[in-house]
Amino acid sequence: MQPRSSARRSRRSYLAPLRLCVCVSLLTGTLNVHAADQDVAKFYAGKTITLAVPSGPGGGYDTYGRTLARTFSKHIPGQPSIVVQNVLGGGGMVAANNLYNVSPRDGTALGLLASSSLLVSAMGERLAKFDNLGFTPIGNLSEESDTCLVWRSSSIQNARDFLSREVVLGGEGIGSNSQTFPLVMNDVLGAKLKVIPGYGGTQQRFTAMERGELEGACGIFVSTVKALFEKQVNEGTLRVVLQMGLSRHPTFKDVPNALELATTDSGRADLSLMFAQLELGRPVLGPPNIPRERADALVRAFAETMEDPEYIADTMRMKIDRRWFGPERIVSILQRMNAAPEDVKLRVRKVLNIEPSSK
């Protein structure tokens, strides 16, 4: 039998090379990460990242995009400048198509895309010239709930009035929540909502309500209401009469959620698919095939920005939500959208007049 002291020495002799191997591996990994960061910093130094947003100046996406841009740069190796570009059209579809098909794929182009355009892509919309899982996910700025609201001169006082009378609303175009949500509520809840398309953003619809062109609007996130219209809501200039989402938002806990009002299983399934995009909220994505080390650096920089005291203070000043999450959950939500039962997709396509792509 081998003496105990000899056995211990034997084990130490056996383990020593393993410990050395582990230490060398960890050191090598650290050096590799450091070298990758140096390469990323060298690439981004002196460059500009363009962050596309799918709405006009002053809207919710624009507000979020500019708030992100003010802090994001300092966390990216090389500290590139960040320029926000307003890309209007198609309720966010133009911005998504451009990012996927036209923008450079080197890490200098990102988009804060409309989650609604990613949903209609999952429905097979032929105008969506992209694979929603083909983007490079960076992070999501906030989960969302949506609202329908009316101007003070409207006779609409509550959800019952809103869903039983004809109401003239402004919409941003195909794929936008401002158009798709009223259409699906007409079908599922028997509403009589009339959507006038062509309004390029939230501020344009607000101005149109002031002028008496519109009675109200849907597709305005709760975070946008809080950031841009809190004073008007508190004063009664704007009335929030209905909300959309998978649950009620605590800010408007006394306002009915459209999902609660569906009376059939099929209706609830249709609304649940429509409202799933709100969990995605405000995703920041890149085009396909960004070099991995740059994509990883952008993901890390995004997460660091979300916890940066400067960014947090900025969001509080701007009164915007920061229920953020990372790329893994973005991918999971998109996969669920894409995997919705075909009978539900078929009904939603019919409601939204979506013509599936032939691809």
| Cβ(50)–Cβ(108) below 8 Å | yes
Which ranges constitute the DSSP H helices of 190-341?
202-211, 222-228, 230-235, 258-261, 265-280, 292-306, 309-318, 327-338
Residue 311, CB half-sphere, CA atoms under 13 Å: how many?
Answer: 25
Nearest to 49 by CA among 312, 303, 295: 295
Domains and CATH numbers, the chain: 44-143+280-352 (3.40.190.150), 146-277 (3.40.190.10)
pLDDT (tens, 9 = 90+) of the chain, 359 residues, equals: 445 445 444 444 444 554 555 455 444 444 455 667 789 999 999 999 999 999 888 888 999 999 999 999 999 999 999 999 999 888 889 999 999 999 999 999 999 999 989 998 999 888 899 999 999 999 999 988 999 999 999 999 999 999 999 999 999 877 688 988 999 999 999 999 999 988 877 888 999 999 999 999 999 989 889 888 999 999 999 999 999 998 889 899 999 999 999 999 999 999 999 998 898 989 999 999 999 999 999 999 999 999 999 999 999 998 888 889 999 999 999 999 999 999 999 998 988 888 776 55
Q: How far apart (Å, rounded) are the C-alpha atoms in residues 193 and 183? A: 7
